[in-house]
């Protein structure tokens, strides 16, 4: 069953270091994945996406890696900045975009000065 | 070009009252998704609507919750006879007709507190 009310996993990194945030997804039929950033009091903000026919996708300072064998997704943020502090969620979609997303529980990224 | 607008941003209701949450999609978007987020949790899908149609409500509680997206005006998420467990942040996202959830943008959310 689902765990409710647990604190989010927290990742604390030094400013300027690289961050790696991990996510295990549940549905082997999922064919599309998104990473979102959610700052306090705000809605999720799209960061980067990847389709299941890809293993890696790069954006500006961010890279997403997909390992379908073990159903694992990771988000790498290069040279983290104070503005990167937020909760990061992975989300999966198995309906070809025709239905809602299934979100993971999230990781709280804290940037130390 | 305004983003997805949700109002109110904060809503306080007493147990037993009704809560109405509004979502105005981005201009040109005809699909709306509602999600609920409990503290320290990820977002949970509730319902997916197109104009005048409910496409998928598999995440909606069977009782007290309803959603609509009329031809004119915002999408409304309605919670009747609210209970403390309904306290959460409710987010909506909108996407264009051809994009689906893969091109969805989220609003700032409505934080419902039931006292």
Q: Where are the extended beta strands (E) located within chain A? A: 10-14, 19-24, 32-38, 45-51, 56-58, 62-67, 72-77, 86-93, 102-103, 107-112
Instruction: Give me the mean pLDDT over the A88-110 stretch.
Output: 82
**What does the pLDDT look like over A35-50, one tens digit per residue?**
999 998 899 999 999 9
Q: What residue of A is the nearest CA neighbor of B108?
A: A43
**What does the pLDDT look like over B52-102, one tens digit per residue?**
999 999 999 999 999 999 999 999 999 999 999 999 999 999 988 776 677
Q: How much is the mean pLDDT over chain A?
A: 88
| Per-residue pLDDT band at A96 (split at 50, 70, 90) | low
CB contact under 8 A, A105 and B41: yes
CB contact under 8 A, A43 and B108: yes
Report angle CA A76, A21, A71 to the nearest 5 degrees: 100
B49: Cα separation from own chain's centroid: 10
Question: Would you say residue A5 has pLDDT above 50?
Answer: no
* DSSP per-residue letters across B13-78: E-TT--EEEEEEPPTT--EEEEEEE-TTS-EEEEEEEETTEEEE-TTS-SSSEEEE--SSS-EEEE
Task: Pick A32's closest partner by Cβ from B39, B102, B106.
Answer: B102
Closest listed residue to residue B33, CA positions, set B11, B8, B4, B13:
B4
CB contact A40 to B (< 8 Å)? no
DSSP letter (8 states) at residue A7 = P
CB contact B60 to A (< 8 Å)? no
Gap from A69 CA to chain B (nearest CA, Å): 23
How far, in Å, CA of B40 to CA of B108, rounded? 17
């Amino acid at each position: 069953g689902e765990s409710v009310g647990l604190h989010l996993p927290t990742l604390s990194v030094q400013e300027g270091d690289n961050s790696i945030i991990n996510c295990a997804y549940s549905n082997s039929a999922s064919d599309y994945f998104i990473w979102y950033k959610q700052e306090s009091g705000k809605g999720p903000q799209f960061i980067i996406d990847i389709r299941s026919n890809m293993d890696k996708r790069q954006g500006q300072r961010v890279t997403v890696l997909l390992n379908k064998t073990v159903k694992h997704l990771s988000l790498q943020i290069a040279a983290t900045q104070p503005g990167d502090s937020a909760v990061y969620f992975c989300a999966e979609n198995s309906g070809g975009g025709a239905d809602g997303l299934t979100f993971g529980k999230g990781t709280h990224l804290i940037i130390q000065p | 070009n305004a983003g997805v607008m949700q109002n109110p941003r904060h809503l306080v209701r007493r147990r037993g009252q009704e809560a109405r949450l509004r979502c105005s999609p981005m201009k040109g978007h005809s699909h709306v998704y509602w999600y609920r987020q409990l503290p320290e949790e990820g977002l949970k899908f509730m319902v997916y609507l197109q104009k005048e149609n409910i496409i998928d409500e598999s995440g909606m509680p069977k009782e007290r919750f309803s959603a609509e997206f009329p031809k004119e005006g915002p999408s409304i998420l309605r919670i009747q006879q609210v209970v403390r467990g309904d306290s959460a942040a409710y987010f909506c996202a909108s996407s264009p007709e051809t994009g689906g959830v893969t091109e969805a943008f989220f609003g700032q959310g409505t934080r419902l507190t039931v006292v």
